[in-house]
Amino acid sequence: LASGSFNGAAAAVAFIFIYLDCFTLGILPVSWSYSAEIQPLRVRNKATAVGVFSHWLSNFVVVMVTPIGLTNIGGNYFWIWAIVCASFIPLTYFFGVETSGRTLEQVDKMFYEEPRLCMGLSKNHTRVIRNTRADEEHRFAEFAQVAEKRHSIAAERKASLAAEHTNHIEEKS
């Protein structure tokens, strides 16, 4: 871009869009969804709020600090962010767990049955579960049975309340 050529500017814009597309499809959703997936059900909402807050706080810090860093140390400022990004490799390896293919209840059970600081070192916690179509159909059939049971209980309650209301009206007249 320093040369001021159209081709250089067009290439820079194209690579920025490619970066944004790859970032959006890659690691960006992790900061939003992973914090919700690994928290116990009883604190999931609050923990997700903390995760979202930390996401926006880190964005604020980057936006406020980067111009100062570029002004003071120029292009070498890249190495600071490279080190920060590289630090996530061991953090993910030692502390991250795989949630793919697991229900939220299974993730809860995983933390409850085998709690440890370095959850990522357990092979049970890093294994990707590949559900078959039969597994998914069985799981959805269980959900349907639960939903049907809830619906029948709600219908019974509604009928009971209607009967009580009718009896109450008859008693008044």
The pTM score is 0.56
Residue with tokens 């140390």, as numbered in its chain = 73
Give dist(CA 50, CA 19) in Å, integer: 27
| 53-68 residues labelled b (16+ CB within 10 A) or e (exposed) | eeeeeeeeeeeeeeee
Written as tens digits, the pLDDT of the chain (173 aa) is 566 788 888 888 999 899 888 887 777 777 777 878 888 888 888 888 888 898 889 889 999 999 999 999 988 888 998 898 888 888 888 888 888 888 888 888 888 887 777 777 777 777 777 777 887 788 778 878 887 888 888 888 888 888 887 877 777 76
Contact between 104 and 127 under an 8 Å Cβ cutoff? The reply is: no
Please, is 148 exposed, middle or buried when counting C-beta atoms within 10 Å of its C-beta (0-12, 13-18, 19+)? exposed
